[in-house]
Structure 1
Amino acid sequence: MFELRRLRLLHELSLRGTLSAVAEALSYSPSTISQQLAQLEREAGVALLVPDGRRVRLTEHGAALAEHAADALDADERIRAGLERLQPGIAPVRVAVLQTAARTVVPAALTLLSQRAPELRVALSEVPPEEGLFELSARGFDLAIAEQYPGLTRAHRPDLERHVLGADPMRLAAPRGELAGAPLRSLAGHAWVMEPAGTAARDWAVQQCRAAGFEPDVRFELADLGAHVALIAAGHAVGMLPDLLWTGQPVPVALGALPGEPVREIFTASRRASGERPGIRLVREAIAEAFAAARP
């Protein structure tokens, strides 16, 4: 019989690509990962890994067993979901959240959960949506709150299901005063603040500027949207910010319309195998209610 823990290590290797990445994600040493995978090879009776430079790669048998490992892990989750229906709250719900949701939606959702399921433990980590969705697939989280931008949709993973929360308008943000209400094209010569390169938010914002006929001078790269607001309010930059950021807060910058009045879509995602776990369902529903109640 294959041990589920070793099957998970093989599945993680198929996702992450290196033994060191698996070790870091699961808090094991690389030598422990190697030993466990060597034992799995003995159990399988075939070679699962072969050297590839300084790394290893899956053999044909290894890739096939990694697919079966994913099925076994899904079955394990469905079994645990069945047990949780008999005793709700026995397992924590680990949630990956994007920054704007962490600042606005999540506190209200936790208040709802404290009333409806006080025994349920919810663990939160603020991570970029790109990382959150990957780690959700890799079983590092149980639920993720993510976004996608018009014309820049995220890939659909077959193991994940989405529930759309709603639309969040994106607006041009500039210092109050002479730039208030300025069209996008007129801001070509100004310093811009945007999220780090490689994020969907950055790629989308750059494309908006290019569509308006200029390449933005991205002088400030910051993941913290609160820092975006501070720089813009102080007159050092212009940017593009979502309405959700202003829920329950004063707006210290001038907001203007972007061409086409674009909105980003906010959604939750969970693994299909565990999406109906009572705890995950409760958290998902509370997040949906909190988002619906949020108003800039």
Structure 2
Amino acid sequence: METRRLQLLLELSRLGSMRAVADALSTTTSSVSQQIAVLAREVGTPLLEPDGRRVRLTPAGRRLAEHAVTILAAVESARADLHPGTDPVGTVRTAGFATAISRSLLPLVLEFADSHPGLRMTLHEHEPAESLALLVADEVDLAMVYDYNLAPAPLDPSLESSPLWTAPWALGVPEHLAAGVSGNALAVFEAFREHDLIGNSRNRADEDVVRVLTSLAGAGPAVRHKADSLDLVEEMIVAGLGVGLLPADRPHRAGVRLLPLAEPEVRLRSYAVIRKGRSTWPPLALLLEKLVEKRLSAVP
């Protein structure tokens, strides 16, 4: 059923004649009659009956006019809710890696609670491939993902991304083995070529970076252990199980030394990813705007 036809029927129930409806809606009497006749065929029951030289609504017509009040109100509410200029109302479903949730999304949850109480977010912690799969399946509205400058990740053509913050990464090694190790990233990897490397158990990005560096260095540590938590990676390093890539700007535990990786530099790059065509939805548009604002404010 077209909402325009429901509006004609509702106006007829209020004004009592097709002529009055035509005048009120700047159309013709014949157009009003034809559209209501089409509506009657759609619902499968007569909506009008003769009343002298005029017509009146049948019981079914009156009942449908009552439904029209609710239906048209809901349509207007939806239009207002989705209009780009309206105050955002709704729930944005997000998925992202732990650091992005902690660094980027949680502060906005608190901010929106005060500034936009009608906007809510659901948060799901996932590695990039998992988040992107949920986004492609339309199970989330926004994915916070990452890749590395040395191992760019391809993006599904149905998605679009906004670059956010970046962070330098280093090689975490047992502190007692760090003495005398210096030089660029290739020299660092060469120094630990005989050691095992601790990779990420839910994402291959670390391994891709290691593969690039070891190929440039001619040799380097091989992935033997995997862990999902950075804290666990550090524990495994202290226990002597190997070395691992760690954020250079993150506090680390005693017993771990972070060796800078430069020439080539290793940087994690974070992105906010959405489905194409969704950026005008007010709640999602606001969330993207705030994420980009935080990126720009972090630029020196």
TM-score, normalised with respect to structure 2: 0.62
Corresponding residue SS for 1:205: helix
Contact 1:109 1:289 in 2 (8 A): no
Equivalent position of 2:209 in the other structure: 204
Pair 1:218 & 2:223 matched: yes
Aligned 1:45-84 pairs, distance under 5 A: 83-84=81-82
Equivalent position of 1:260 in the other structure: 264
Pair 1:281 & 2:285 matched: yes
Contact 1:209 1:216 in 2 (8 A): yes
* Cα pair distance change 1:278/1:155, threshold 3 Å: same
Aligned 1:23-34 pairs, distance under 5 A: none
| Cα deviation digits, residues 109-137 of structure 1 (max 9, x gap) | 32333332233110011111112123212
Aligned length: 215
What RMSD over aligned residues (CA atoms) do the two structures have, in Å?
3.0
* Cα pair distance change 1:80/1:229, threshold 3 Å: farther
* Cα pair distance change 1:292/1:168, threshold 3 Å: farther
Contact 2:194 2:220 in 1 (8 A): no
Equivalent position of 1:14 in the other structure: none
Pair 1:101 & 2:105 matched: no
**1:106 Cα deviation (Å)?**
2.8
Aligned 1:115-134 pairs, distance under 5 A: 115-134=114-133
Q: Write the distance in 2 (CA, Å) between the matches of 1:290 and 1:250.
A: 25
Q: Write the distance in 2 (CA, Å) between the matches of 1:265 and 1:81.
A: 37
Corresponding residue SS for 2:223: strand
**1:232 Cα deviation (Å)?**
2.1
* Cα pair distance change 1:229/1:116, threshold 3 Å: farther
**1:139 Cα deviation (Å)?**
0.6
Corresponding residue SS for 2:191: helix
Q: Write the distance in 1 (CA, Å) between the matches of 2:179 and 2:173.
A: 6
**1:186 Cα deviation (Å)?**
0.7
**1:269 Cα deviation (Å)?**
0.9
Q: Write the distance in 1 (CA, Å) between the matches of 2:235 and 2:241.
A: 9
Equivalent position of 2:193 in the other structure: 188
**1:146 Cα deviation (Å)?**
1.0
* Cα pair distance change 1:93/1:274, threshold 3 Å: same
Q: Which of the pair has the greater relative contact order for Cα pairs under 8 Å at 6+ separation? A: 1
**1:89 Cα deviation (Å)?**
4.4
Sequence identity percentage: 26
**1:290 Cα deviation (Å)?**
4.7
| Cα deviation digits, residues 28-53 of structure 1 (max 9, x gap) | xxxxxxxxxxxxxxxxxxxxxxxxxx
TM-score, normalised with respect to structure 1: 0.63
Worse-superposed segment, 280-289 or 117-126:
280-289
Gapped regions of structure 1 (runs ≥ 5): 2-78
Contact 1:192 1:217 in 2 (8 A): yes
Corresponding residue SS for 1:177: helix
**1:251 Cα deviation (Å)?**
5.5
Q: Write the distance in 2 (CA, Å) between the matches of 1:80 and 1:148.
A: 37
| Cα deviation digits, residues 164-185 of structure 1 (max 9, x gap) | 1132212111122332573221
Equivalent position of 1:173 in the other structure: 172
Gapped regions of structure 2 (runs ≥ 5): 2-76, 182-187
